[in-house]
Structure 1
Amino acid sequence: MTESKPESNAEDPRHPRWVYGHGDEPDPRFTLANERTFLAWARTVLGLLAGAVALHSFQVPTVEWARNGLIAVLVLTAILCTILAMARWARVERAMRERRPLPAFTAGFVLAGALLLVGVLLGVSLVL
């Protein structure tokens, strides 16, 4: 007995339609893995926001402009990571549906660069 995959359906009620309205339904394991990756990015965003709240609450570093700068970088990084995570989920899902190669992983480099900036700013502000 062979399993048949449902054909592509432009009338699929799921959103976003520019993702679900293309290609064939992929193996559910791959779709669920893509969702877990998105949720991992969501946890990262929550961690960035928690770090911003902690800096504000504990008033660390004591230099106000440095603290505000660090908080701004953390919040802006959280916003950017949210946007990149949503875009990556959609691009990967659509690539799987169309049986194309997966897109390049740029979000991790953006996050790494932002965290490097936060580390340098925090180190400099603690020395002041």
Structure 2
Amino acid sequence: MTDTEQRWPRGLYDHGEEPDPRFSLANERTFLAWIRTTLALLAGAAGVHAFDLDVTDALARSASTLLAVAGLAAALQAWVGWVRTERALREGRPLPSNAAGAVLVAAVAVTAAAMIVVGSTG
């Protein structure tokens, strides 16, 4: 079995040329940063859910749900972004864009704004 046959996902590694390892390792670090973001969002969702905050139950549930969904989106972005970038590196194409960051910023900003507004009026 060759090295390419042992690597997963095979559909990725059987395309193009092997890129400079520094670029693949940088792509992996970006993947891990997205995973850390996922963990932080899920921890925030759990915290909003677990602690008795001075907000309505509906807001706490909504904020917790929004943060958890954002965490799920970050996890999916981690994988999809890693695969798309690795394939572009292997095929010598420009790196793909990433719109997921804007979606996550919006989710966190909406959650923070709602918590601030309700917290300042309560």
TM-score, with length taken from structure 1 = 0.86
* Cα deviation, residue 14, structure 1: 1.3
The counterpart of 2:49, out of the listed 33, 56, 70, is: 56
Q: Is the Cα contact below 8 Å between 1:38 and 1:89 reproduced in 2?
A: yes
Give the counterpart of 1:23 among 16, 33, 39: 16
1:3-28 per-position Cα deviation (integer Å, ceiling 9, x unaligned): xxxxxx8x532111221110000011
Q: Which residue does the alignment assign to 1:39?
A: 32
- Which has more helix, going by share of residues? 2
Distance in 1 between residues matched to 2:52 and 2:44, nearest whole Å: 12
Structure 2: runs of 5 or more not aligned = none
1:70-111 deviation digits (Å, cap 9, x = unpaired) = 000000000011001110000000000000000012121111
Check conservation: 1:41, 1:81, Cα contact below 8 A. Answer: yes
State how far apart, in whole Å, the 2-side matches of 1:119 and 1:24 are. 44
Matched to 2:39, the amino acid is L
> Aligned Cα RMSD in Å?
1.5
* Greater relative contact order (CA < 8 Å, ≥ 6 in sequence): 2
Q: 1:106 to 1:85 in 2, by over 3 A?
A: same
Which residue of the partner structure matches residue 6 of structure 1? none
TM-score, normalised on structure 2? 0.89
- SS for the counterpart of 1:12 is helix
Q: Which residue identity lines up with residue 64 of structure 2 in the other structure?
A: I
Q: Quote the offset at 1:44 in angstroms.
A: 0.7
How many residue pairs match? The answer is 119
- Superposition pairs of residues 1-128 of structure 1, within 5 angstroms: 12-126=5-119, 127-128=121-122
Which consecutive segments of 4 or more residues in structure 1 shift more than 3 A?
Answer: none
Unaligned runs of 5+ residues in structure 1 are 1-8
Asked whether the equivalents of residues 34 and 77 of structure 2 are also in contact (C-alpha less than 8 Å), the reply is no
Q: Percent identity?
A: 43
